[in-house]
Amino acid sequence: MPMLTVDGKQIEFKQGQTVIEAARAAGIDIPHFCWHPSLSVSGNCRVCLVEIEKMPKLAISCSTYAMDGMVVYTKSEKTLQARSAVMEFILINHPLDCPICDEAGECKLQEYAYAHGSGESHFEEIKVRKEKRVQLGPNIKFDGDRCIMCSRCIRFSDEIAKQNQLTFIKRGDKVTITTFPGESFDNPYTLNTTDICPVGALTNQDFRFKSRVWEMSKTNSVCVGCSRGCNTEVWVRNNQILRLTPRQNNDVNSYWMCDNGRLNTFKNVNAENRINGTFIRKEGELEKVSWEEALKVAAKSLKDYKSGEIAFIGSAFTTCEDNFALVKFAKSLGVVNIDFVNHTVQGDQDDILIREDKTPNTLGAELSGVRSGSNGLSVEGMMKAIKEGKIKALYVMEDDVASLNEEYEKILSKLELLIVHSANENKTTTLADIVFPASTYAEKNGTFVNFQGRVQRIRPAVATEEMDRALDGMKMSRWDKFGTKFDRWMQGLKYDSKPSWKIFTMLSTYLGGKTKYEMAEDVFIDLTHSVDSFKGLDYDTIGEQGVLLKIKQTVTV
């Protein structure tokens, strides 16, 4: 492979790489604002200037191709002076908004001003003032005086979102960004511009002024908005999710995620209709009871029915572990009527990220054994059997079956026994005889399998009372075990909920079962021994980027 020298270090590079790309691949950071690995080169900011031997002038490393034998200096006196001058130029009209700016703490301009700026300015005139709090679109606020004209947002809109909605207007120190006449910045991916904006010019209206970045904990997870399974980071303060941001995974979502996944997939976690504790219907009303009472009543009630009179509905909204535990529990009762609801919205899909399947784990539910009509009745068949009086007891895990249509709601009301796991109140829980509070995806460990067949991890970002009890059982202080950030993470409102796999494990004990899962990973290990597609995997192997499963059936990409 060809080689170049950067600051005395020889590095290999691929033909076609620019200097900044070759240096970055070797772990050498060259400051940049306008360059982004997934966008075209614009060369606006000039912060990436470097000195290259045999070149008469400094070159911008983002558009200069690496050549075999090239010698590059990123820290020479000439380079540092030029970089400092460029930083001074960029900061000439920049307002001192850091105390109120949402970007503070993760702002490239702050970082580079500290690392590469001179700390003073020769500019003594009044700064140019531009419009603030401009509503560019339904989700984006724009502060024009913070903008450094890197054009990242413009290029993203055109090249990634495929909707050219933004442009520069005016010239010189009056230049600013706006939408084209009659346009609104409203494509399905607008909030990605808040991630790639190197300053605080573009801000997420939903998150604006809610928290400082250093006041939040960050947990790697997966988006549950559709079967793409975009890799995300869940940001939490006082046990409340304040925002989701995309996490880079080139095999799944690159650097991006859609606005719907970012804004709407976490609101149920701290919603007012969260179910906090177990409930049993007494005299026509759902009454809160202890876990022990609810489990005893559920176990006793299930014993009253023959296996053919019981049906189970799993869920593509929840994890492989939860679905596998459901299947194992159902089979321990001799039940074969097991299925899950398909949540496909025909036509709601694009060639970027969004998928028609609006669940994160359809393939995972199928692989876990909750196969549509394979061993028994499908959901439609179950509804017909309930209507005919053949199925008298239904167990629903984390899906709102009654909301699918009015007929299903009427049919469910005819059941003699309806047991439901749910995180939030819905039409199905309203009809239920026993309700178990299920942990949301942000409160448990587990795995999802996306439409490509890639198994990916989720982790608890929000604490529950279950976690508090687990910590107490460790007989050690939170400070000693986890440090100050985890101690802060455990503060705030916590719900009395459990993962569905754990509820089935507890219920199995009351029915004399031998299943004794202690952790989600125990369930997953059992799954790997039972399903060939998962064979040889564990949570460590799956890691942060996921693993592509070897699945016999064809998966359409």
Tens of pLDDT, residue by residue over 228-238, are: 999 999 999 99
- For residues 122-138, give the mean pLDDT: 87
Q: Is the distance from CB of 537 to CB of 526 less than 8 angstroms?
A: no
**What's the domain count of the chain?**
3
pLDDT confidence band for 520 (50 / 70 / 90): very high
pLDDT value, residue 274:
96
Residue 148 in any domain: the answer is yes
- For residues 349-373, give the mean pLDDT: 92
Domain boundary, last residue among 69, 91, 113: 91
Residue 236 in any domain: the answer is no
Lowest mean pLDDT among 33-37, 111-115, 231-235: 111-115
Do 62 and 176 fall into the same domain? no
Strands 217-222 and 231-237, sheet pairing:
antiparallel
Do 197 and 119 fall into the same domain? yes
Given the structure tokens 């799944």, which residue do they identify? 252
Do 170 and 85 fall into the same domain? no
pLDDT confidence band for 89 (50 / 70 / 90): very high
Rg (CA), the chain: 28
- For residues 148-164, give the mean pLDDT: 95
CATH code for position 154 = 3.30.70.20
- The per-residue pLDDT of the chain, averaged, comes to 91
CATH code for position 441 = 3.40.50.740
Do 77 and 107 fall into the same domain? no
Do 55 and 108 fall into the same domain? no
How many Cα neighbours within 13 Å face the side chain of 435? Answer: 31
pLDDT confidence band for 480 (50 / 70 / 90): very low
Do 20 and 154 fall into the same domain? no
Residue 230 in any domain: the answer is no
Cα–Cα distance, 23 to 75 (Å, whole number): 13
pLDDT confidence band for 117 (50 / 70 / 90): confident
Residue 268 in any domain: the answer is no
Do 74 and 102 fall into the same domain? no
Residue 337: both structure tokens together: 């009527």
pLDDT value, residue 552:
65
- In angstroms, the Cα distances linking 260 to 264, 275, 353 are 6, 24, 11
pLDDT of 479 > 50? The answer is: no
pLDDT confidence band for 466 (50 / 70 / 90): confident
Residue 434: both structure tokens together: 């026993």
Q: In b/e form, how buried is each residue of 222-237, taking b as 16+ CB within 10 angstroms?
A: bbbbbbbbbbbebbbb
Residue 188 in any domain: the answer is yes
Given the structure tokens 């959901």, which residue do they identify? 379
Cα–Cα distance, 194 to 272 (Å, whole number): 28
Do 419 and 335 fall into the same domain? yes
Domain range for 321: 278-462+496-548
- For residues 207-230, give the mean pLDDT: 96
Cα–Cα distance, 296 to 279 (Å, whole number): 12
What does the DSSP 8-state code read for residue 232?
A: E
pLDDT confidence band for 481 (50 / 70 / 90): very low
- For residues 495-501, give the mean pLDDT: 95
Do 48 and 99 fall into the same domain? no
Residue type, 391: I
- For residues 23-50, give the mean pLDDT: 94
pLDDT of 382 > 60? The answer is: yes
Give percent above pLDDT 90 in the chain. 85
CATH code for position 31 = 3.10.20.740
Residue 487 in any domain: the answer is no
Domain boundary, last residue among 193, 209, 225: 209
Residue 555 in any domain: the answer is no
Q: Is the distance from CB of 319 to CB of 448 less than 8 angstroms?
A: yes
Pick 478 or 228 by higher pLDDT: 228
Do 298 and 348 fall into the same domain? yes
pLDDT of 554 > 80? The answer is: no
Residue 199 in any domain: the answer is yes
pLDDT value, residue 483:
45
Do 68 and 118 fall into the same domain? no
Q: Please tell me the pTM assigned to this model.
A: 0.91
Domain boundary, last residue among 65, 91, 117: 91
Do 414 and 307 fall into the same domain? yes
pLDDT value, residue 469:
67
pLDDT of 123 > 90? The answer is: no
Cα–Cα distance, 114 to 178 (Å, whole number): 30
Closest C-alpha among 311, 334, 433, 327 to residue 381: 311
